[in-house]
Amino acid sequence: MTEEGIIKYDPSRFTYIPFLPRHEYETVEKYRKILNQMNLIGAYDNGVGFGNISQRKNYSHILRTQNPQFIISGSQTGHLKDLSGEHYTRVIDVDIDAFAVTAQGAVKASSETVTHASIYQMNQYIQAVVHFHHKKIWDNMIKGDYEFTGKWILYGTYEMAIAVRDCIGDKTQGILVMKGHDEGAIAYGPNLSTVMHIIDRVYKKYIK
C-alpha cells in the first residue's frame, strides 16, 4: 500500500467541529469540483486520495497569529465528487519549524498542509494553492523547463515545505513539479481563477 496521503505533520493541535459554514468553502469547492472532474484531484484504485486545494482566509477572530491562515480540503477526501462543510478544514496556525498544524474541522487537514503554509508565507499576494496529480503532466514537466523540488524530497515533509518555498522566491504565481512525489505538482497564485488558468495551460499542452 502506498503511503500517499498519510499525515506526517504533528496533528495534535486539531479541534473537532461538525462542519464549516458554506460561505467559507463555496468558492474553493467550485474549483475543486472542476479539478476532480479533470482527475487532477481524486483517488487511486486502492482508494487512497490525492490532491488538495486551499485558499487564504482571515481567521484572526479565532486565533491571532503572524502565520498564514487558510481553508484546505481535508485529508483523504479526493475520492468524493462533491465536498461539504464536513470535508474542509480551517488552518488557523502552522508552525513550520515545529512541523505542527493548528486546525479546526470534522476532518484533519491535508497531508500537504505545511507545504501550503510555506507558500503563503512567502508572499501575501499568494491567495490560493492547488496540489494536483497527473502522471503524463508530471512526466512532461520533469522533461520541461519548470521549477522543481528534488527527487529525494518526499511529500508532506518539512523538507518539501522548505524546498517549495525556495522554488517560489518572490514570485506571486506559478507552477512547479515535485520530482520526489510521484505525479505531484503545485500551482499557486493571487486567486483561484488564476491558479486554474495556470493548471489548464499545462493540461491542454500535455493532455489535449
**pLDDT tens by residue, 14-50:** 999 999 999 999 999 999 999 999 999 999 888 888 9
Position 197 in a domain: yes
Position 2 in a domain: no
| Closest alpha carbon to 4 in 54, 45, 36 | 45
Residue 122's identity, in one-letter code, is: M
Q: What is the CATH number of the domain that holds 34?
A: 3.40.225.10
Alpha carbon of residue 131 to chain centroid: 4
The x, y and z cell numbers of residue 179, run together, are: 520530482
pTM: 0.95
**Total count of domains within the chain:** 1
pLDDT value of residue 5: 58
Position 34 in a domain: yes
Position 178 in a domain: yes
pLDDT value of residue 2: 36
User: Which residues of the chain are under the pLDDT cut of 70?
Assistant: 1-5
The x, y and z cell numbers of residue 51, run together, are: 490532491
pLDDT value of residue 76: 85
CB contact at 8 A, 177 and 141:
yes
Q: What is the DSSP letter of 74?
A: B
Tell me how far apart the alpha carbons of residues 126 and 3 are, in angstroms, rounded to a whole number: 29
Position 88 in a domain: yes
Which long-range CB contacts under 8 A does 198-203 form with residues at least 24 apart?
A: 198/173, 198/174, 199/35, 199/40, 199/130, 199/132, 199/175, 202/137, 202/140, 202/141, 202/175, 203/38, 203/40, 203/134, 203/137
For residue 158, give its domain range.
Answer: 10-206
Position 171 in a domain: yes
